[in-house]
Amino acid sequence: MTATLSAGSPDLTLPPTPLEVALAAVVERREEFRALGHVPRDVVDLFKAAGVYRAATPRRFGGDALPPAEFLGVVERIATADGSAGWVASFGSAQVYLAALPLETQAELFADGPDLCFAGGLFPIQPATPTERGFLVEGRWKWASGCMGADVLGVGIPGDPSTEGKPRTALLRPDQVEIVQDWDVVGMAGTGSYDVVVRGVEVPRERTFIRGGQPTVDEPLYRYPALAYAAQVLAVVGLGIGRAALDWAREVGGGGTGATGAPKLADRAYFRTAVAEAEARLRGARAFFYEAAEEAYATVLDGDPVTDEQNALLRLSATHAARAGSEAVRAVFDISGTNAIYSDHPLQPLVRDSMVPTQHAFLGPAMYDAAGAVLMGLPATVPAFR
């Protein structure tokens, strides 16, 4: 039976859904994720039971191929519970990349079921020697988020004339890859974005694909811009972290007096004002974000290609959402007093995690310029914009 994802509030009269079970585990174990440096496989299995890793699997292979906005809502809920868990869950969208593989290869990947966890260390692109069957792959790649729980891993290798110079991703089994647990960071410490090392493994050509390449699956989801979707699933993590900070502010605002005997936070005008302003900014960014996703997908369902302007709005709204989430956390931190600087304060993990989405290459300041150029009728000013 297919697990169903829902971004709505739980019905307390019914048994918990698989997603609610997963969320409860995330809340209980998020400090463990940070200490370990990754989300353990048993939690990834809970995400699988909730349908996270079939959300972008083609229907022809038993997946759900969910509309992007629906999946984004689920990642946002998980990220509100913990940023690292949301980041790892976000790669449930990665099957949109795998849709560029030959259908026979996809059938092999999903032979045991649609719940496939894919992780990739795509950069830096490492040279690969062409062979009669494919490519001899060797090298070290960074930022393989979620690799500890992955069923299949991808690494970046150069393209060739047949790919118009675009790089390929080569797929490997976990037993063909060494994971170097070197993830020592301030924010998103639980994502397990470790380095991966491959030593002289021959990868058949049919187990490689162009990231964002032409899909071989003819279903609506795979006509949605893949690179824009990759930016969205990371940006929505920022929205979730911002929501967690504002929820915390509202929860503690009605508490007792401060250490100096000052009025409780909710009785202070500056606190109420800052929370209200941050709430408005976050909700505004969130509305733009989901509106752009829904409009682009409606175009796909109508049988039309997503326009350059729609793609630019997807990228712009994602970049804006990531920034709005980070700014919401900072706004709450700024009004929370001296106690907020202690390392064990509830805001500290949110502050650290909120710094990460805005640092990602897909969500950096250059995206504003690129989106603005397209909206002005000019070419995008950055590569891999569409």
Cα-Cα end-to-end distance for the chain: 36
Instruction: Work out the average pLDDT over 195-213.
Output: 94
C-alpha–C-alpha distance, residues 242 and 129, integer Å: 45
Of 328, 297, 314, the closest CA to residue 362 belongs to 314
Residue 57 has a pLDDT of 98
Q: Tens digits of per-residue pLDDT, 302-330?
A: 999 999 999 999 999 999 999 999 999 99
* Distance (Å, whole) CA 345 – CA 350: 10
Examine the pLDDT at 3 and tell me if it is beyond 50: no
pLDDT tens for 110-163 read 999 999 999 999 999 999 999 999 999 999 999 999 999 999 999 999 998 888
pLDDT digits (tens, 9 = 90+) for 70-90: 999 999 999 999 999 999 999
Strands 152-157 and 118-121: parallel
State phi, psi for 23 to the nearest 5 degrees: -65, -40
What pLDDT shows up at residue 288? 98
pLDDT at 66 over 50: yes
Closest CA to 194 of 93, 95, 121: 121
Residue 2 has pLDDT above 70, yes or no: no
Who has greater pLDDT, 8 or 57? 57
Q: What would the DSSP string read from start to end of 174-228? A: GGG-EEE-----SSSTTS--EEEEEEEEEEEGGGEEETT---SS-SGGGGS-HHH
Nearest to 34 by CA among 149, 192, 237: 192
DSSP sequence for 250-286:
HHHHTS---TTSPPPGGG-HHHHHHHHHHHHHHHHHH
> In order of start, what are the domains of the chain with their CATH numbers?
117-210 (2.40.110.10), 224-375 (1.20.140.10)
Cβ atoms of residues 334 and 274 within 8 Å: yes
Helix (H) or strand (E) holding 378: none
Percent with pLDDT over 70 in the chain: 95
pLDDT of residue 351: 98
Average pLDDT over residues 97-118: 97
**Torsional sign, CA 159, 162, 163, 165:** positive
Q: Over 90: is that where the pLDDT of 274 sits?
A: yes
Measured between alpha carbons, how far is 150 from 148 in angstroms, rounded to an integer? 6
| Cβ(293)–Cβ(232) below 8 Å | yes
Mean predicted confidence (pLDDT) in 362-381: 97
What pLDDT is stored for residue 11 in this prediction? 61
Q: How far apart are CA 296 and CA 308, in angstroms?
A: 10
Q: In the numeric block, which tokens belong to residue 365?
A: 């300041």
Residue 187 tokens read as: 């924010």
Average pLDDT, the chain: 94
Task: Give every CB contact of residue 208 below 8 A, 6+ residues apart in sequence.
Answer: 134, 135, 157, 168, 169, 170, 171
121 forms beta bridges with: 155
Ramachandran region, residue 65 (left: φ > 0; alpha: ψ -120 to 50; beta: rest): left
Q: Residue 202: which of 139, 131, 136 has the closest Cα?
A: 136
Global pTM reads 0.94
Model confidence at 6, pLDDT cuts 50, 70, 90, reads very low
- Taking the C-alpha atoms of residue 327 and residue 87, their distance in angstroms, rounded to an integer, is 18
